Structure formats: structure tokens, C-alpha cells
């Protein structure tokens, strides 16, 4: 995938978990990366790692995507540093635990929607508009199987991810034909975050996956690279399930 060399890629939630794996994959292929996350120290550490390992430029940015102004500041920072954005990966996500549906607080509900839906909306609007002006690009949203197979344990999150499907198709129409917008919809996957799952959670998840296992990060990252590259040049407004055959 030589076509990523010297491209500029923004990844939200990029300092850990799947976001970190996505950053590393693009950097390994020669892309310059903007690593956005709430904790600047983690962003800075990963930025230093990709600079030393891959010889690319890396910009760490503290950004809580639930904050409208911080989304604007992230886009401004990326364009100030690089002059353009070729790929935006809306990866930042949040799925808080709660005792029961009736005990979901207004604050928890609003926070979940803000991180998983409002942030991707604002970033796609800003970045997509600038991509059109500069000749094109690709926006990849990271969804969830919860959007089509909702659990009572994560219903606000599932609703937000379902809304992401609507944004995907709407932005794809608005910014066509030069900007493509697609969603990768993963099932359970194994990163550093999964190491903190509750006892028995992995076994429970794998019991409802046709392939009988959780995904390795590269299996999800591959779909992100696909939608970011010319290999998917006739795909926009699409949702790709990468869930192992969730039943």
C-alpha cells in the first residue's frame, strides 16, 4: 500500500486500543498521522514511537470529541501542521456501564451520544468540507455490531452507532464524488482494552460469533485500510461488517 506514503491521516481515540493499532498501520505504510485523544501524554508517547519507528511526522492533539470547540481545534491543528487531511478515522468511542436501563442518567446518555455521534458529525462536516476544497479524501467511521444487534447492556451506545450509519450515507451523498465516507462495523476484538474485560466476558462474546473467536486488531485495521485506499474506489455510504458472523 505505497499509496499511503506522505498522506495525512487523523485518528480520533488514537492513543490506545483499536485507534493505536490504526495509527501504527498507517504510519508503517508511510503516512503522517494526527493522533487525537483526551490524554495528551498518551498521544505524545505514541507520536514519539511512530516517529522513531517509521520516520514519519506525527502530531499529538488533546481532543475530547464530545466537545464541539475541541473538534474545531483538532481540525485547525491538523491543517495548520500539514495543510490538508487525506483520511479521517472517526474511531473515538464510549460505552459506559450502567445497572439497568431505568437507571441510565441523563448525563450518561448525553455523554454517550456526544462522543459516539455528535463528535463524528462535527469532524466529518469540517474535514469533509475541506477535503472537497482540496480535491478529495476518505472518511472512515468505526461503528459497532451493537448498531444492528443491540444489547440492553449498551442501548444508548447502540443507538448512537446506529445513527452513525445515517451520517455515513448522508455525508457520502453531500461530499460526493470526491470524498468517500464509509463505516467499518466490528464485533469484539482484542486490544489492550480487552485485557480489562470482566471475567467470562470474552467467552460469552465468542459464544455468539460464528467464527468462535474475537478478532485480532489487524483483522479490523485491514477494513479501515481498504476504505481509505483506492481498493475501495467505488464504495461510499457503505457499512462493512467485520464481526466474525455475529449471531
Domain count, the chain: 1
Q: What is the pLDDT of residue 199?
A: 67
Q: Which among 98, 157, 175, 234 is annotated as catalytic?
A: 157
Give a yes or no: residue 245 inside a domain.
no
Residue 190: per-residue pLDDT: 75
Does the residue 244 lie in any domain? no
Q: Which residues of the chain have pLDDT under 70?
A: 1, 189, 192-200
First to last CA, the chain: 33
The question of whether 234 is a catalytic residue gets the answer no
CA 148 – CA 74 distance, rounded (Å): 30
Integer-rounded Cα Rg, in Å, for the chain is 17
Strands 32-37 and 58-62, by their bridges, are: parallel
Note the pLDDT tens digit of each residue in 100-151.
999 999 999 999 999 999 999 999 999 999 999 999 999 999 999 888 888 8
Angstrom distance (rounded) from CA 115 to CA 25: 24
- Residue 79 falls inside a structural domain: yes
Q: Output the pTM of the full model.
A: 0.93
Cell 448512537, located at residue = 160
Would residue 88 count as lying in a domain?
Answer: yes
- Tell me what pLDDT residue 198 has: 62
User: Interhelix angle for 17-28 vs 217-228, to 10°?
Assistant: 60
Q: Which helix (H) or strand (E) holds 167?
A: helix 155-175
Beta-carbon-side half-sphere exposure of residue 106 (alpha carbons within 13 Å): 0
pLDDT score of 219? 86
Q: Residue 29 belongs to a domain with what CATH number?
A: 3.40.50.720
What is the three-state SS of 34-70?
EEEECCHHHHHHHHHHHHHHHCCCEEEEECCCCCHHH
The pLDDT, as a whole number, for residue 50 is: 98
Domain membership of residue 24 as a residue range? 2-235
Rounded CA separation 182/159 (Å): 18
In a domain, 243, yes or no: no
What is the number of other CB atoms lying within 10 angstroms of the CB of residue 151? 11
Q: What percent of the chain shows pLDDT beyond 90?
A: 77
By the 8 A CB rule, do 74 and 92 touch? Answer: no
Residue 133 lies in a domain: yes
DSSP 181-242: EEEEEE--B-STGGGGPPTTHHHHHHTTBTTSSPBPHHHHHHHHHHHHSGGGTT--S-EEEE
- d(CA 206, CA 166) in angstroms, rounded, equals 28
Count of CA atoms in the C-beta half-sphere (13 A) of 124: 33
Contact 127, 85 (CB under 8 A): yes
Amino acid at each position: 500500500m505505497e499509496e499511503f506514503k506522505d498522506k495525512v491521516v487523523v485518528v480520533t481515540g488514537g492513543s490506545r486500543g483499536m485507534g493505536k493499532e490504526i495509527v501504527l498501520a498507517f504510519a508503517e505504510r508511510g503516512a503522517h498521522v494526527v493522533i487525537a485523544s483526551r490524554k495528551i501524554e498518551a498521544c505524545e508517547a505514541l507520536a514519539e514511537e511512530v516517529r522513531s519507528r517509521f520516520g514519519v511526522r506525527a502530531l499529538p492533539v488533546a481532543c475530547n470529541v464530545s466537545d464541539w470547540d475541541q473538534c474545531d481545534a483538532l481540525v485547525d491543528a491538523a491543517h495548520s501542521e500539514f495543510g490538508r487531511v487525506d483520511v479521517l478515522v472517526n474511531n473515538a468511542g464510549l460505552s459506559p456501564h450502567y445497572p439497568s436501563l431505568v437507571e441510565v442518567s441523563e448525563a450518561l446518555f448525553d455523554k454517550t451520544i456526544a462522543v459516539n455521534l455528535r463528535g463524528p458529525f462535527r469532524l466529518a462536516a469540517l474535514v469533509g468540507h475541506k477535503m472537497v476544497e482540496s480535491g478529495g479524501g476518505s472518511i472512515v467511521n468505526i461503528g459497532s455490531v451493537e448498531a444492528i444487534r443491540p444489547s440492553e447492556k449498551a442501548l444508548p451506545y447502540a443507538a448512537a452507532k446506529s445513527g452513525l450509519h445515517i451520517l455515513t450515507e448522508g455525508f457520502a451523498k453531500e461530499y460526493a464524488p470526491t470524498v468517500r465516507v464509509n463505516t467499518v462495523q466490528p464485533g469484539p476484538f482484542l486490544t489492550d482494552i480487552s485485557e480489562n474485560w470482566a471475567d467470562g466476558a470474552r467467552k460469552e462474546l465468542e459464544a455468539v460469533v460464528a467464527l468462535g473467536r474475537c478478532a485480532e486488531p489487524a483483522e479490523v485495521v485491514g477494513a479501515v485500510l481498504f476504505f481509505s485506499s483506492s481498493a475501495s474506489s467505488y464504495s461510499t455510504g457503505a457499512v462493512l461488517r467485520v464481526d466474525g458472523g455475529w449471531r
